[in-house]
Amino acid sequence: MATSFLVVKNRATSKLAAALTSGALSVDVTAGEGSEFPSTYPFHITIEDEILEVTDVTTDTLTFTRAAQGTSAAAHPNKAHVFLNITAKSVTDLNTAVNAIENDYAAASGLATLNASTKVVQQPASITDHLDDTAGGTNGVVTKAPTSNVMYDHANAGDPHTGYRLESADHSHQTTGLQAGKLDHGAALNGLGDNDHTQYILHSLADAANDFLVASGNDAYAKKTLAETLALISPLTTRGDIMFRNATISTRLAKGADNTMLAMGAADPEWKTPATILADLSGQAAAAFAWNSQNLSGIGTLDLTGDLTTPGSIISTGGGQTGKFLTGAAGNTVFAFSGDNFDVRAGTGGSASQNVMRVTSAGDIGIETLNTHTIPGGTDTFAMLAATQELDNKTLDSSVLKGTFTASGTVVLPAFTLGGTMDANSQALINVLDLDLGTESLTGTFSATLTAANAGTAWVIRSRDSIDIHRARLGLSGGVDTAVWSWV
């Protein structure tokens, strides 16, 4: 049986019109390029590292079986090149066929022998249907001419060489007959236009550095620059595409979406969104990071891991302001802004600037509730650092007053109860409506300590009843040691 060879065709190449999965059994190539491939089957195509056996071509759709010639089925990206190459199987099949012919020839040795000197066919006696070498004989496969043996001298043929071509070291040939002067690679070549030369391209066609010879059609070639050649063979199709090397070949990474960033994946480069990049960067900082005086806005939670020391402060140094947010040992500032003054300080109390909360503003500051909690060893002090500060419309409940109070205007006290002796500090108590001494007892007495300068001091005592008015005057007369009160 004759050997079945794979079908081949020159310059049969295209690209995948879509990505090919590892289990697919058909795929489209670039539109209009299905005709580049043979119309008889089977033939083998190569895509990256896989060889596939094509069993049908319909328009631009190739149908095939996978993993031919010991390769493995794999996924292939869109625009991957598709080639019809001469593979090892083609050469192996050819060797097998030639070896079979050689074996058949060797097995037939002795059946017929050509003796050039006697020009006779010698055959074994065992072959009965042998050639009749007598003039005019008809027995056998070949009929000889009446006067000559056509098998040897071609005497009655139109041209003695139409049945074969002479191959010799010097390519010599007869100069008469139908084949006169038509030599292959011989001395009678008809210049560069001879068909023995048109299948070759002269090196002088590509006469500049980095030029390439590229097939421009059937048996036609053109000179291309490096850029033109790259445009033909590159898998890149769109502005922004990137070429990279995958596990087997150089291939295309399609351009990413707007504002995406190129990053290295586990094996190949890939595009990532800013959100994904930030997630990848989380926890990766190994040194101080400067924001170049730019804002950091939209923060959900600012988590400062562990206690902070001064080197770990959050500090603002712009606009003449300073600020720190610290925790740690006694003496550290907890919150502080020195510009418009917002302080919450902690410490041992050894410094006048410690144990203070200070809030200042050009306008009003509203505090709904101000609780001072008991501090071990402290006095729960609420101090106004400036003497002109006011606490308006506020209720002081169970508070302790101490120090000197200075009125900036009229002070009106509501009804209140003294919880102890009140010292007027030698000041006048005027415009008293009633002075009720309470029950008649020593605790309700009215007394005064007088000096000589007070001699003659008078007390006017009136009844609380406006109808019964006593205008008696109580006078003081006498010396320092002998002064006596009396009605006058």
Highest mean pLDDT among 131-145, 250-264, 374-388, 424-438: 250-264
Q: How far apart are CA 474 and CA 460, in angstroms?
A: 7
Q: What percent of the chain has pLDDT over 70?
A: 50
Per DSSP, the residues of 341-401 read TEEEE-S-S-STTSS-EEE--SS----S-------TT-------SSTT----S----S---
What CATH number has the domain bearing residue 62? 2.40.33
In a domain, 22, yes or no: yes
Whether 131 contacts 141, CB under 8 Å? yes
Does 53 map to a domain? yes
pLDDT in tens, 139-174: 544 444 445 554 545 445 555 544 445 555 445 455
* CA-based nearest residue to 33, from 65, 59, 64, 7: 59
Tell me, what's the pLDDT at 269?
94
In 3D space, the residue among 381, 382, 353, 345 whose CA is nearest the CA of residue 367 turns out to be: 382
Position 343 in a domain: no
pLDDT of residue 428: 80
In a domain, residue 456? The reply is: no
Domain count of the chain? 2
Residues 6+ apart with CB under 8 A from 164: none
> What is the rounded CA–CA span in Å between residue 342 and residue 211?
76
Mean pLDDT of 228-253: 85
pLDDT tens column, 368-414: 666 655 545 555 565 655 556 667 777 777 777 777 777 777 788 88
Q: Is the residue at 47 inside a domain?
A: yes
For residue range 448-480, list pLDDT tens digits in order: 555 555 544 445 555 445 544 455 556 667 776
In-domain check, residue 277? yes
30, 61, 92 — which closes off a domain?
Answer: 92
Q: Identify the residue with better confidence: 198 or 311.
A: 198
Q: How many Cβ atoms from other residues are within 10 Å of residue 14's Cβ?
A: 22
pLDDT at 278 over 50: yes
Judge whether residue 243 has pLDDT over 50: yes
Given pLDDT bands bounded at 50, 70 and 90, which one contains residue 38?
A: very high
Residue 42 has pLDDT above 80, yes or no: yes
Q: Which domain-ending residue is among 92, 108, 127?
A: 92
Tell which of 284, 318, 334 closes a domain: 284
CA 247 to chain centre: 21
Q: Scanning the structure block, which residue is given the tokens 């040939």?
A: 173
**CA-to-CA distance for 221 and 156, rounded, in angstroms?**
47
Mean pLDDT of the chain, nearest integer? 70
Instruction: Give the N- to C-terminal CA distance of the chain in Å, as an integer.
Output: 167
Residue in the block written with tokens 């319909």: 58
Name which residue leads in pLDDT, 6 or 419. Answer: 6
* DSSP-assigned letter for residue 329: S
| Residue 136 placed within a domain | no
The range of the structural domain enclosing residue 268 comes to: 226-284
Q: Look at residue 57 and give its three-state secondary structure.
A: strand
Whole-number pLDDT of residue 309? 52
Please give the structure tokens belonging to residue 5: 């060879």
Alpha carbons 208 and 226: distance in angstroms, whole number:
11
Q: What is the pLDDT of residue 410?
A: 79
72-129 per-position pLDDT tens digit:
999 999 999 999 999 999 899 999 888 888 776 655 555 555 444 444 444 444 444 4
Cα–Cα distance measured from residue 90 to residue 85, given in angstroms and rounded to the nearest whole number: 9
Query: Does 293 have pLDDT greater than 70?
Result: yes
pLDDT at site 171:
52
Ranges 206-215, 272-281, 384-393, 463-472, most confident? 272-281
393-399: list long-range contacts, CB under 8 Å, 24+ apart.
none
Confirm whether 153 is domain-assigned.
Answer: no
pLDDT at 297 over 50: yes
Given this model, what pLDDT does residue 62 score?
96
